[in-house]
Amino acid sequence: MKKVIVIGNGMVGYKFCEKLIAKAPAGSILLTVFGEEIRPAYDRVHLSEYFSGKTAEELSLAPRSWYHEKGIRLFTGELVTEIRPDKKTIITHRGQSFAYDALVIATGSRPFVPPIDGVNKSGVFVYRTIEDLEAITAYGQKIAGGKRPKAAVMGGGLLGLEAAKALVDMELETHVIEFAPRLMPRQLDEAGADLLRETIEKMGIQVHTSKQTTLIGGNGRIQELQFADGSSLDLEMLVISAGIRPRDELAKNSGLTTGPRGGILIDGTCRTSHRDIFAIGEVALYQEQIYGLVAPGYDMAEVTAEQILGGDKNMVDQIDMSTKLKLMGVEVASFGEHFAPSPARSIVFEDKYAGIYKRINISEDGSKLLGGILVGDAGDYNMLLQIAQNGMTLPPNPEDLILGSRGGDSQAFGSVLDLPDSAQICACESVTKGDICSAIVDQNCESVKSITKCTKATSGCGGCKPMVADLLDATLKSMGKTVKQTICEHFPYSRQELFDLILVKEIKDYDTALDEIGHGHGCETCKPALASVFASVYNETATVQEAIQDTNDRFLANIQRNGSYSVVPRIPGGEITPDKLIVIGQVAKKYDLYSKITGGQRIDLFGAKLHELPEIWAELIAAGFESGHAYGKALRTVKSCVGSTWCRFGMDESVSFAIDLENRYKGIRAPHKIKGGVSGCIRECAEARCKDFGVIATENGWNLYVCGNGGAKPVHAQLLAESINREDCIRYIDRFLIYYIKTAAPLTRTAAWLEKLEGGIDYLRQIVVEDRLGIAGELEEQMNGLIDTYSCEWKEVVDNPELKRRFAHFVNSDNEDDNMAFVGMRDQKMPRPW
Amino acid sequence: MEAILEQYKQVTEAQVKVWFKAAAVEAFPKNAGACIKYRDKQIAVFNFARKNKWYACQNLCPHKMEMVLARGLTGAEGDIPKVACPLHKRTFSLETGENLNADLPPIATYPVKIQDGFVYVGFAE
């Protein structure tokens, strides 16, 4: 058994374990890992999401149990202090020694802290580990008082700007101090950096460039920064993000060759100056450079795993430093030779108004794309990167690449299928177009999810997801496969298509729909599905086309196990007067109904016979009740806590808001039931995050969550918008609900719908909050149309003798159903058991 | 419980001894079902108006022995006219009574005729 030791359990060290275990024959390797941090490897790329609520567990790349299952010995919180290459052993800080056949150094890097006077003052932090973030958060809370404290980030690079975002989220007045004359000097040219600066300054971040800090002043704790130009800045906290330095001290002390400015020297096989010792990730110096990106580190992990197992894989000559990221909502990308190489031509497009800057560099003869920079809109990054990497031929007017094709039908990019099979689609996991296509063709993958499962593509940074989706579509199409969701044999359409067809063709009833766009005589699947569409398009109640309603909607009550029905009057927000409570009690007593409080803060009355329903409702309506639509795929309840009216912790009036929301959306039919919740503070007593839409009051306004549910597969709702006022909150829920109603498959709750929605919550936010499709107005209008035409369907029935007749058990007799039987239980009745 | 099921036996048109005058055509909803009472029996009657055809079967669903089939959604599977029980969506052929989506015993079906604006259901007794 070959003994392999990994020093370092960061992202690259973990990736190496994953790759080695996957490639090695079972039982051939004994893998031992030492990590200095207390927790197993986590996702440092998305570290800033820790501030937006992701937990350490969620950031974790794999739980401890994963290492255990794979037979990996994992030591965390354990430091390796010495390597003895001659004896092929390592020594830990506990003095234990371990022997190896192959050693992999993946110790990563440390934040570079410039030697400035005062860096040891309290209130000065670096930004690399979860512990750093915890310390920053704790200090931020400590200094947060009545006024808005000032904080700064030293370093306007990629990580520095991430840190700045975190400070903004902590509601600190945020400054960014950059030594170079522009932001992100490694990735952006001057024009691109200027545009980025303008955009983030609009978000309230103050940017200071060409500033050399000479002193961190203050008495014990940081109070000011002094700069070389004589100026200064008062502040209470500083986060230093001035670059990284490789953690090479262990290697250096053990006699391995390191570079003059640090880093363990490696060759194309990732070997160091000792044959059995490898170095990977940010500690490795390859081609005289340290690579602070995860993709080259993963490549090194792959090469090392292959080499240890006897393969001959080598690093590619040209390390790709292309990056795409989103900084405070601004997309920034650079790829290939992004600074003007010579000889070359550049094409630049700038729209200061929209905050977009694009630059591409083209070979002198105009035939090849060399690289480029995108700020503000990096939607074409994947395709541009592929064109550059694969040396693909450019369109006749290369400017089409950034301006889009103007006139004619030709596409500037051509199709994803034109890419060579060797084109690397997922850089994090080194997955090529060929790998993905073979997963689709040979392994029958028909969704991005299953491709991810087969190939791991998209599982890293996720940036290649749109391209994988395009590739999937195009490949399936080329195979003549159409993955079409039809609702049943009678309609060759998805629910969304039916929705559009009924709207456009102005089809008013089910029979016409069958004749015009369907065939045959329908079934129990398409009838209720179309009933739901008719309800959404025309807001017609279930009484209009009663024959296509599922039994609950047809009889406006919930059928129970013995064929009796239950009755649920609406109690908006769960608020009810004693007088109304008494009426419910009297009705329940008169008709001998089993009574129970529901989970949605209302009262369910069970055991009503079909013919009794109109009489029961006549009494309830006379007392001011309305239908609760408990029987419909419709809004059920908006649950609330008592809120600031009574609760000493409440931040706002949750009951009033819940009542308004419930009354606003009552009666609206949807693909499935909809539930809402409103909590008056973050204690969340209304369990709003278990609802399709949930609103929680905070100090700064309402936070809106969507797409949660309880049930068989509980899902927490996700944050759609935060710190918004009541009007915006209502507007967003309007848009969200209509978008869901229009696009979801039949009987799909919002959580399942969102899970299938390509782009997930971010995409939903673009539609609902940012109005990227420009349909927000239309969605609101449709919602208003539904609200304006609401009527209580039970009121319709009790006022109409003809409708009332539908509730007779027999059409030829006034007798009751003599088969229905009840037995007693705890002073009430229940159906006779089956 | 099985005794109730015993009451319902398939009747073909040739076996009809009594044509029971159930109710006027207008008493029945179009493209849906309604229940009629004949002696101790509950019979579900379906008006497939699109095809101008009528069907009848026992109102009792053999799955959980509840009198509910008349309240089920009607439709077709291929060319077979069917009803789906409102309780658990078990579907039955209205021609043969056969259970189409599970292994339940068949339901009894009965012939229907329309005469002078009235619906008649045929029984063997």
Helix (H) or strand (E) holding A367: none
CATH superfamily of B2-123: Rieske [2Fe-2S] iron-sulphur domain (2.102.10.10)
Is the CB of B35 inside 8 Å of chain A's CB atoms?
yes
Beta carbons of B71 and A811 less than 8 Å apart = no
User: Does residue A683 form part of some domain?
Assistant: no
Share of chain A above pLDDT 90, in %: 56
- A21 pLDDT higher than 90: yes
Structure tokens that stand for A657 in this block = 């808001």
Mean pLDDT, contiguous 10-residue spans, chain B (125 residues): 77 91 92 92 94 94 90 92 92 93 88 94 91
> How much is the pLDDT for A306?
94
Predicted confidence band of residue A484 (pLDDT cuts 50, 70, 90):
low
Domain shared by A505 and A456, yes or no: no
Assign residue A452 the CATH number of its domain: 1.10.10.1100
Predicted confidence band of residue A183 (pLDDT cuts 50, 70, 90):
very high
Is the CB of B82 inside 8 Å of chain A's CB atoms?
yes
Stronger pLDDT, A408 or B121, i.e. the higher one: B121
Domain shared by A128 and A238, yes or no: yes
Average pLDDT over residues A512-535: 90
Q: Which residues of A touch B4 (CB under 8 A)?
A: 819
Domain shared by A196 and A280, yes or no: no
Structurally, chain A folds into a number of domains equal to: 4
Let me know: does A531 contact A520? Beta carbons within 8 Å: no
Q: Is A488 annotated as a binding residue?
A: no
Of A52-56, A151-155, A321-325, A522-526, which has the strongest mean pLDDT? Answer: A151-155
Beta carbons of A806 and B29 less than 8 Å apart = yes
Residue of B nearest to A514 (CA): B50
What is the predicted ipTM?
A: 0.91
Radius of gyration of chain A (CA): 32
Stronger pLDDT, A436 or A713, i.e. the higher one: A436
Q: Which residues of B touch A815 (CB under 8 A)?
A: 37
Between the alpha carbon of residue A562 and those of residues A125, A821, A833, the distances in Å are: 68, 8, 9
User: Does residue A372 form part of some domain?
Assistant: no
Domain shared by A19 and A104, yes or no: yes
Q: Is the peptide bond before A296 cis (omega within 30 degrees of 0)?
A: no
Domain shared by A102 and A207, yes or no: no
Beta carbons of B87 and A559 less than 8 Å apart = yes
Closest chain A C-alpha to B66 CA, distance in angstroms: 6
Q: Which residues of A touch B78 (CB under 8 A)?
A: 489
Residue of B nearest to A813 (CA): B37
| Domain extent for A517 | 495-554
How do residues A113-148 score in pLDDT, each as one tens digit? 999 999 999 999 999 888 898 899 889 888 876 678
The Cα A770–Cα A492 span in angstroms is: 33
Q: Is A690 annotated as a binding residue?
A: no
Last residue of a domain, one of A308, A329, A357: A308
Domain shared by A60 and A106, yes or no: yes
Domain shared by A130 and A235, yes or no: yes
- A353 pLDDT higher than 90: no
User: Does residue A770 form part of some domain?
Assistant: no
């003095």: which residue's tokens?
Answer: A95
Q: Is A17 annotated as a binding residue?
A: no
Domain shared by A105 and A20, yes or no: yes
- A408 pLDDT higher than 60: no
Domain shared by A157 and A54, yes or no: no
Last residue of a domain, one of A242, A271, A297: A242
A553-566: burial string, b at 16+ Cβ within 10 Å, e else: bbbbbbbbebbbbb
Let me know: does A116 contact A322? Beta carbons within 8 Å: no
User: Does residue A388 form part of some domain?
Assistant: no
Last residue of a domain, one of A483, A506, A538: A483
Predicted confidence band of residue A716 (pLDDT cuts 50, 70, 90):
very high
Domain shared by A288 and A185, yes or no: no
Share of chain A above pLDDT 70, in %: 97
Assign residue A138 the CATH number of its domain: 3.50.50.60
> How much is the pLDDT for B64?
86
Domain shared by A87 and A66, yes or no: yes
Beta carbons of A521 and B32 less than 8 Å apart = no
Mutation target among B45, B52, B71 for the A interface, most CBs of A within 10 A: B71
- In sequence order, the 6+-apart residues with CB closer than 8 A to the CB of A491 are A498, A513, A517, A518, A526, A530
Domain shared by A55 and A67, yes or no: yes
Let me know: does A90 contact A80? Beta carbons within 8 Å: yes
Predicted confidence band of residue A543 (pLDDT cuts 50, 70, 90):
confident
